[in-house]
Amino acid sequence: MPIVAILDDHVANRQIFARLAASIADDIVVKTFADPLEALAALKSLVVDLVITDFRMPHMDGAEFVRNFRKIPGAEDV
């Protein structure tokens, strides 16, 4: 079962991307996050297939999030 993580600080964007990702196939699981720090904490114990992230967010931008996310074992190639 593929897992897609969506990170965006705007609720409307999260909802749009979540619906779009869920429509790709019946077995896709979508996890959404509003805060990059919360997402990083959760993704340490969740193996995802795709991450969709906003660029401008509180605490860190999307590039910094991706750099930190790729430090998680198993997430280097996501």
The pTM of this model reads 0.90
pLDDT tens string 6-62: 999 999 999 999 999 999 999 999 999 999 999 999 999 999 999 999 999 988 999
pLDDT at res. 59: 87
Spell out the residues 6+ positions from residue 51 whose beta carbon is closer than 8 angstroms to its own: 4, 5, 6, 7, 43, 66, 69, 78
